[in-house]
Chains A and B, each alone.
Chain A
Amino acid sequence: MEINHRRVLTGTHFMLGNNAVVEGALTAGCDFFAGYPITPANEISERMAERMPQVGGKFLQGEDELCSIYALTGAGLAGAKAMTATASAGFNYMQEGIGYAVASEIPLVIVDVQRCRGENFATQADVMQMRWGASGDHELIVLAPSSVQELFDYTIRAFNLAEKYGTPVVVMSETTIALMREKLVIPEPGAIEILNRKKPDVPPEDFVPFRAGPDNVPPLPDFGEGYRIIHSLNPHDEHGGIAWDPDVFETLYRRITHKITENYDDIVQTEDYFLDDAEMVIIAYGSETRPSLDAVRRARSEGIKAGLLKLITIWPVAEKQIRAIAESVGIILSVEMNLGKYAGEIERACSGYCELRRVTKNRGLIHTTNEIYRAIKEAAH
């Protein structure tokens, strides 16, 4: 890569998916990256090692994934916009730190390039782990890009959501898009919305660190600004003190959960394709939305009223949107690159309103348009 000291590489590029993640992060203001080598996420670390020092940020090659994720939480509390990248097996190790970041309400971004167990083939088999990997009662925001452009765009969105809600956000990448080269358009910096964490508006002596307003998100000062806060994983009261009190437990866990669930309309995004008059609808996420959309178009050209709901936010589940579809169509096809995991969530959101069919594949390959088209044809009979 040519040396380029600009933080935002405005222009049109032909770029690798993993590299687009890096440029998205830099555009969002990322100034700390830590990672441990793992394929197929390595290009992210390698490009970060080159780009971070160019823009005054810090790069750390951790001794393992635990070091990486905890370095993020430390840097995050010191004021950094921090990111790590890993792949499925490495994501396992990070669950501990994700749980801590949730409980201590630290903004950070994790990119997980899903791969098959031990091999770098395509899969979406970690879709449930994204959400449920860490221990304890919690919510997690997970975004599912389906192209190089979306890897860029959603990485920025991940930082914005992390900063806005004081929580870790996961970008659920896949081998399919991470190692793909496509057109990427990076706008002028001023044309991109960048959000930053809310800071206290009172001096340290008046500040109650874990007291939040109606949005349930407390302000977060940087280390060294004089606020002297305890950030403990343990149940803590509004002042940060470790408390052995059931009421404190409940208040804390409800707040850190509600700050996600009660901001559903701001967090959950989907895209509709041909839904207005659809009689059957595919629900898909990530790279699987691409052959799905091709198959829907082909079915449409033959008079079959098919549609597609593309899930951008994969966690929390787009329950309202899925329910609305379930109430108006006869059949939903859940298309995913695993043996049928997220289909359970869709089924739950449908709650009996319509039939759900699972279109699954776990052989290291994305669905072909033909395979999904055949599923549509079968469902049409």
Chain B
Amino acid sequence: MKENPLRKYLRKGSLPHFFCSGCGAAQVLNYFVRAADEIELDFDRLVAIGGVGCAARIPIYLHAEVLHGVHGRTLPWATGIKLHNPKLKVVIFAGDGDAVAIGGNHLIQAARRNLDVTMIVVNNLNFGMTGGQAAPTTPQGLKSTTTPYGNREKPFDICKLAMTAGATFVSRWSTASGIQAIKAIKRALQHQGFSLVEMVCQCPTNFGRRAISSGDPIKGLEWIREHSVTEKKAKNLTEQELSRRFVLGNFIEKSEPIFEGSSIYQQGGE
């Protein structure tokens, strides 16, 4: 039997994966290896980082250097790695909890510094691995195990947060827009500086069943598609209309000096 040409990027013996059937995180893994293949990413120099959560398991399947298992600290890890060896390519796979709940301050600071890493935020709109609790990304009014009467909190716009803090490449796509997602991941990997790609994705087991009353992954994808709007169309919508929408697009791409440390020696000082 012919082997899938992308299989070479996966760690031997790591499959079958542990994701639920129809989980969007597995799609993101697929998109990443496609993007990596197209740009011929050197896996000997790749450090793939996951924190804790479902998306954090993505790096486990990659045949790269891997860090895993601590919630919210992906960017501090990455900062130490990049400062010591700038030649390494660091890619972070973070869930929304990792990225903007427990790790929120690290995200702001890494974006501010323009740390030269790629962060793929797999936003499944809830805490999936722990059983479906509300996250800082859960849309208002929707149910979760900790919002049985509907979420009362206003969710984060991860992309706006990253841009405001200083990220130099920011885009948002979803598991219902795979082709654009792969293109965005490619561009993010080729970008010098802090690049963030938010991937809105379905979580059939938890978010699906509780928030949108269906554990069917296809229904989850349809729900994302129905609630998505392109950047261009979003310009004609009111804030109210946008409050339940995922605006898709490549929002920013600019070149700025990357972070090389908090103290850089200069002869004689300044």
Contacts and interface: CB of A to CB of B under 8 A. Distances in A.
A233 B268 CA distance: 44
A76 B63 CA distance: 20
B234 interface: no
B65 A224 contact: yes
A60 B67 contact: no
Nearest to B106: A67
Chain B residues touching A, range: 35 or more
Interface string B41-66: 00111010000000000011001111
B77 interface: yes
B50 to A, nearest CB: 9
B65 A67 contact: no
A75 B81 contact: yes
Contact of A71 (B44, B47, B80): B80
B91 to A, nearest CB: 13
B36 interface: no
A67 B112 CA distance: 14
A230 B76 contact: no
Interface string B65-79: 111111011011111
B80 A231 contact: no
A203 to B, nearest CB: 12
Given A67-B109, A224-B87, A241-B13, A74 B68 contact: no
B84 A58 contact: yes
Interface stretch (B132-140, B147-155, B220-228, B258-266): B258-266
Given A60-B261, A234-B68, A78 B76 contact: no
A73 interface: yes
A248 interface: no
Interface in A50-97: 50, 52-54, 58-64, 66-80, 82, 96-97
A231 B80 CA distance: 15
B85 interface: yes
A101 to B, nearest CB: 10
Contact of B79 (A54, A67, A103): A67
Given A64-B105, A229-B66, A242-B60, A79 B84 contact: yes
Given A60-B262, A232-B68, A226 B44 contact: yes
A73 B85 CA distance: 13
B65 A53 contact: no
Residue from the set A77, A103, A224, A241 with the largest chain B CB neighbour count within 10 Å: A224
Contact of B261 (A58, A64, A224): A58
A34 B67 contact: no
Interface in B178-209: none
Contact of A53 (B69, B73, B78, B265): B265
Contacts of B72: 66
A174 interface: no
B95 to A, nearest CB: 16
A60 B260 CA distance: 9
A100 interface: yes
Contact of A74 (B63, B78, B108): B78
B73 A66 contact: yes
Given A53-B261, A59-B261, A234-B68, A75 B76 contact: no
Taking chain A's interface residues, is the majority helix, strand, or loop, or is none over half, making it mixed? mixed
B69 A229 contact: no
Nearest to B268: A3
A66 B105 CA distance: 11
A249 to B, nearest CB: 14
A204 B44 CA distance: 11
Contacts of A75: 80-81, 83-84
A31 interface: yes
A336 B175 CA distance: 60
Contacts of B211: none
Given A50-B263, A71-B76, A224-B44, A32 B68 contact: no
Contacts of B84: 31-32, 58, 74-75, 78-80, 82
Contacts of A273: none
A100 B76 CA distance: 13
Contacts of A77: 65, 67, 81
A223 B76 contact: no
Interface in B7-49: 11, 13-14, 43-45, 47
B99 interface: no
Contacts of A223: 47, 65, 81, 85, 88
A240 B72 CA distance: 21
A80 B82 CA distance: 11
A322 B63 CA distance: 50
A49 interface: yes
A132 interface: no
Nearest to B72: A66
A102 to B, nearest CB: 12
Contacts of A70: 70, 73, 76-77, 80
A23 B18 CA distance: 48
B234 to A, nearest CB: 32
28 contacts: A3-B268, A31-B84, A32-B80, A52-B263, A53-B263, A66-B106, A67-B109, A68-B76, A69-B76, A71-B79, A71-B83, A72-B80, A73-B77, A76-B80, A79-B85, A80-B80, A82-B80, A82-B84, A100-B70, A223-B65, A224-B47, A224-B88, A228-B63, A228-B66, A230-B11, A232-B67, A234-B69, A241-B13
Given A226-B44, A228-B44, 18 more contacts: A49-B263, A53-B263, A60-B262, A62-B79, A63-B105, A63-B109, A67-B79, A71-B80, A77-B67, A78-B81, A79-B84, A96-B70, A223-B85, A224-B88, A230-B66, A231-B68, A232-B68, A232-B69
Interface of B: 11, 13-14, 43-45, 47, 59-60, 63-70, 72-73, 75-81, 83-85, 87-88, 105-106, 108-109, 261-265, 268-269
Closest 3 pairs (CB-CB, A-B): A74-B80, A233-B69, A53-B265
